[in-house]
């Protein structure tokens, strides 16, 4: 260990940008065994591992790094999976620069962080290859059942924990495939789809029942689900896209990021997607403008590059240092040919023949130039308009990636007594996920607002522990 003084930080090989532009495969390769051991040995085994504190799952990072450095890979895997339901997924898509790696002690001392995410991915990918990933086989079946609404990471993590304890689990989801945003939001170049599908197969093989194409509130009522199970977990994520109010915003060719990414991900599965085949949600040959500066915007610009767009530009109202998206993803996008136009905001859209009525196809974005002004209450500098500096950015496809809000579940589901916050997220108790309705829990984005996969996993695990406790207590009462 402690090799950080002599061994530099080295990520797995990143594919050449030109090759990356041609497909939707992940951009990083896998470590070879020696490289993984060498990079793990850079860990300083410091007494106070801030990486662990800043990992939402409190993964025992220093210990599994040491085991990997010593070639004890199977033990490293056992330890890693004890706290993380999907380590190979987090290793790929956690924003490590803001979480574990950003707080690594040797990073703070200027030596370059230990590549924690890449080692975590390597350990679990190896475990799958070697057949160490155990099937879910509860020691004893229990009669209690839990209904989970939503097959995203929060719902899946809870299902995994509950099934391991023998609880009967049914997951209801409105999509045809499970995985939530892991499947239909996040593109393959960050997370290849077979990684997610392997986990789905593991859960199915472990006895989880999936009821797909079931939109709760339409195909089945919330009360039906509630009366069919001993407890219910709401893990529906947030899907209401924030919109723009600007002249011409209704023009053809101005689309929502979630529709665009879902269509692209469906094509990666080989599905027929009419809106893609018609060109509506396909960037090929088009001048694409993406509006937004978060992770969703980064995924849109990089998808458009891979679809063969003529040009891809990203408008963001603050500057590079103040954008919410990962700096690593911005760098990847720039390498692949995306142009960022910082300090800009859409003022309106021009349509066919210069009309701004929003009838024909979009032809351009009227762009306001901004500057950063005084900080707001959170300390973040507010963008201010520079009067009279607007210009037109030509575009055939405009993708709105302005973030997501929760749907109004109490109204959609006609359920009284389910309390929500002033942001519309479901009100749930910290660390247990208990809602205002008895026996009903909530986890993931529907509680936090748009967040991260690792937090959804954490919530799903916490909720399942609380549900198990409640089921245990009910079983004890019934036996008295």
Ligand X SMILES: Cc1cc2nc3c(=O)[nH]c(=O)nc-3n(C[C@H](O)[C@H](O)[C@H](O)COP(=O)(O)OP(=O)(O)OC[C@H]3O[C@@H](n4cnc5c(N)ncnc54)[C@H](O)[C@@H]3O)c2cc1C
Of 396 and 459, nearer to ligand SF4 (C-beta) is: 459
Which of 295, 396, 462, 470 touches ligand X (CB under 6 A)?
Answer: 295
Furthest-apart CA atoms within the chain: distance in Å: 78
Environment class of 278 (CB within 10 Å of its CB; exposed 0-12, middle 13-18, buried 19+)? exposed
Q: Which residue has the tokens 């205002």?
A: 436
Is residue 185 a contact residue for ligand X (CB under 6 A)? yes
Is residue 57 a contact residue for ligand X (CB under 6 A)? no
Of 358 and 433, nearer to ligand X (C-beta) is: 433
Q: Least separation, in Å, of the C-beta of 61 and ligand SF4?
A: 5
Interface of this chain with ligand SF4, residues 60 to 79, rule: CB under 6 A? 61
Q: Which stretch binds ligand X (CB under 6 A): 79-87, 106-114, 117-125, 230-238?
A: 230-238
Is residue 395 a contact residue for ligand X (CB under 6 A)? no
Which of 96, 183, 262, 264 touches ligand SF4 (CB under 6 A)?
Answer: 96
Of 61 and 343, nearer to ligand SF4 (C-beta) is: 61
Is residue 57 a contact residue for ligand SF4 (CB under 6 A)? yes
Is residue 358 a contact residue for ligand X (CB under 6 A)? no
Q: How many CB atoms lie within 10 A of CB 408?
A: 11
Select from 459, 396, 454 the least CA-distant residue to 186: 454
Q: Least separation, in Å, of the C-beta of 330 and ligand X?
A: 13
Of 40 and 264, nearer to ligand SF4 (C-beta) is: 40
Of 56 and 364, nearer to ligand SF4 (C-beta) is: 56
d(CA 230, CA 351): 54
**Residues in contact with ligand SF4, shown as a per-residue x/- string from 395 to 434 under the rule CB under 6 A:** ----------------------------------------
Is residue 36 a contact residue for ligand SF4 (CB under 6 A)? no
Environment class of 223 (CB within 10 Å of its CB; exposed 0-12, middle 13-18, buried 19+)? exposed
Chosen from ligand SF4, ligand X, none, partner binding at 420 (C-beta under 5 to 8 Å by type) = none
Is residue 242 a contact residue for ligand X (CB under 6 A)? no
Is residue 190 a contact residue for ligand X (CB under 6 A)? yes
Chosen from ligand X, ligand SF4, none, partner binding at 57 (C-beta under 5 to 8 Å by type) = ligand SF4
Is residue 43 a contact residue for ligand SF4 (CB under 6 A)? no
**Residues in contact with ligand X, shown as a per-residue x/- string from 78 to 107 under the rule CB under 6 A:** ---------------xx-------------
Please state the φ and ψ torsions of residue 43, each to the nearest 5 degrees. Answer: -60, 135
Which of 118, 126, 296, 303 touches ligand X (CB under 6 A)?
Answer: 296
Query: Contact positions toward ligand SF4, by CB under 6 A?
Result: 55, 57, 59, 61, 84, 90-91, 94, 96, 99-100, 116-117, 120, 454
């Amino acid at each position: 260990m402690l090799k950080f003084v002599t061994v530099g930080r080295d990520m797995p090989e990143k594919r050449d940008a030109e090759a990356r532009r041609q497909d939707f495969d992940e951009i990083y390769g896998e470590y070879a065994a020696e490289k993984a051991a060498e990079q793990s040995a850079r860990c300083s085994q410091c007494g106070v591992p801030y990486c662990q504190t800043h990992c939402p799952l409190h993964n025992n990072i220093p210990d599994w790094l040491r085991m990997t450095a010593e070639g004890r890979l199977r033990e490293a895997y056992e330890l890693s999976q004890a706290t993380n339901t999907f380590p190979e997924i987090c290793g790929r898509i956690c924003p490590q620069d803001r979480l574990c790696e950003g707080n690594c002690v040797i990073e703070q001392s200027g030596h370059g962080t230990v590549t924690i995410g890449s080692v975590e991915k390597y350990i679990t990918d190896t475990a799958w290859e070697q057949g160490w990933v155990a099937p879910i086989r509860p020691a004893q079946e229990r009669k209690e059942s839990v209904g989970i609404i939503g097959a995203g990471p929060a719902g899946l993590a809870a299902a995994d924990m509950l099934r391991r304890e023998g609880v009967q689990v049914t997951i209801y989801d409105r999509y045809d495939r499970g995985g939530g945003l892991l499947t239909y939001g996040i593109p393959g170049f960050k997370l290849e789809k077979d990684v997610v599908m392997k986990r789905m197969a593991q859960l199915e093989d472990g006895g989880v029942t999936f009821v797909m194409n079931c939109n709760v509130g339409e195909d089945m009522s919330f009360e039906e689900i509630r009366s069919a199970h001993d407890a219910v977990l709401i893990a529906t994520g947030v899907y209401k896209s924030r919109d723009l109010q600007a002249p011409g915003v209704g023009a053809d060719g101005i689309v929502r990021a979630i529709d665009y990414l879902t269509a692209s991900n469906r094509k990666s599965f080989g599905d027929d997607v009419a809106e893609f085949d018609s060109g509506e949600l396909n960037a090929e040959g088009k001048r694409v403008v993406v509006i937004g500066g978060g992770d969703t915007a980064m995924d849109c610009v990089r998808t458009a590059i891979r679809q063969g767009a003529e040009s891809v530009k990203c408008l963001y109202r603050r500057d590079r240092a103040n954008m919410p998206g990962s700096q690593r993803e911005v760098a990847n996008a720039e390498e692949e040919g995306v142009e960022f136009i910082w300090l800009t905001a859409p003022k309106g859209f021009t349509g066919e023949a210069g009309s701004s009525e929003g009838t024909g196809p979009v032809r351009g974005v009227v762009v306001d130039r901004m500057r950063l002004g005084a900080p707001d209450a959170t300390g973040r500098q507010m963008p201010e308009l520079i009067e009279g500096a607007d210009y037109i950015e030509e575009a055939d496809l405009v993708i709105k990636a302005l973030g997501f809000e929760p749907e109004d579940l109490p109204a959609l589901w006609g359920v009284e007594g389910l309390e929500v916050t002033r942001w519309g997220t479901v009100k749930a108790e910290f660390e247990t996920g208990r809602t205002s309705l008895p026996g009903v829990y909530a986890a993931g984005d529907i509680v936090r607002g748009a967040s991260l996969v690792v937090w959804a996993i954490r919530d799903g695990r916490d909720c399942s522990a609380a549900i198990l406790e409640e089921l245990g207590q009910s079983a004890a009462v019934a036996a008295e």
